[in-house]
Chains A and B, each alone.
Chain A
Amino acid sequence: EADIYQTPRYLVIGTGKKITLECSQTMGHDKMYWYQQDPGMELHLIHYSYGVNSTEKGDLSSESTVSRIRTEHFPLTLESARPSHTSQYLCASSGDTTPWYGYTFGSGTRLTVV
């Protein structure tokens, strides 16, 4: 049973629309992450958060923004979607800063911008 939830699972949207991808976790984890996943490519970290009111950009530049107003919620927003934003977006969380503590991943949102 998943403890981290992403909605929607699939989204097809027109160019120029504003979208928000939701991510919620019930584990009380402080650390949360957004990864972008393209077929045959590495997962790329685009945003992360240490805790409430803290957000940072990841290794891969992204036009998306994130917020962390509540511990359990880490939404990702695209103000104006473009076809280049078509990808799968994975949310993850972890409960510790130690490097051996694995992530818990959500099921992902597959975004298609037409």
Chain B
Amino acid sequence: AQSVTQLDSQVPVFEEAPVELRCNYSSSVSVYLFWYVQYPNQGLQLLLKYLSGSTLVKGINGFEAEFNKSQTSFHLRKPSVHISDTAEYFCAVSRSGGNFNKFYFGSGTKLNVKP
């Protein structure tokens, strides 16, 4: 079975500072990894995904994530955050489930960017 752990429920950071949001997963099979962002009162929006190939994945809004198979991690990073990055971020794992693609989500990390 798959599970996704986001250790930090909240991350406060000052504007223009770097940030890392941690995600670890457990899986006995190959998985595909995603980060979603949820702005206040909105649905989830795909930020980036790792399918295969280069372990460093670049997404929208200047975010990137690095897949580390040995550590089963997929941490999200941004070198300089903006106030507008304040949102909740969800890490997710996907596996093939026959007729559908099933996602397992972490519990989310709230990023609070302060001026």
Interface size class for chain A?
20 to 34
Complex: A97 Cα to B46 Cα, angstroms: 17
> What residue in chain A is nearest B30 (Cβ atoms)?
A99
Question: B27-69 vs A: 1/0 string, CB under 8 Å?
Answer: 0000110101000011111100101000000000000000000
The yes or no answer to B71 lying at the interface (CB within 8 A) is no
Determine which of A4, A42, A97 lies in contact with B100 in the assembled complex, contact meaning CB atoms within 8 Å: A97
Does the CB pair A107–B100 fall under 8 Å? no
Determine which of A2, A94, A97, A107 lies in contact with B41 in the assembled complex, contact meaning CB atoms within 8 Å: A107
The yes or no answer to A43 lying at the interface (CB within 8 A) is yes
Q: A4, A35, A90, A102 — which one has the most chain B CB atoms within 10 A of its CB?
A: A102
Task: Give the B-binding residues of A (Cβ under 8 A).
Answer: 2, 4, 6, 9, 31, 35, 40-43, 45, 48, 50, 90, 92, 94, 96-103, 105-108
Task: Give the A-binding residues of B (Cβ under 8 A).
Answer: 4, 9, 31-32, 34, 36, 41-46, 49, 51, 90, 94-108
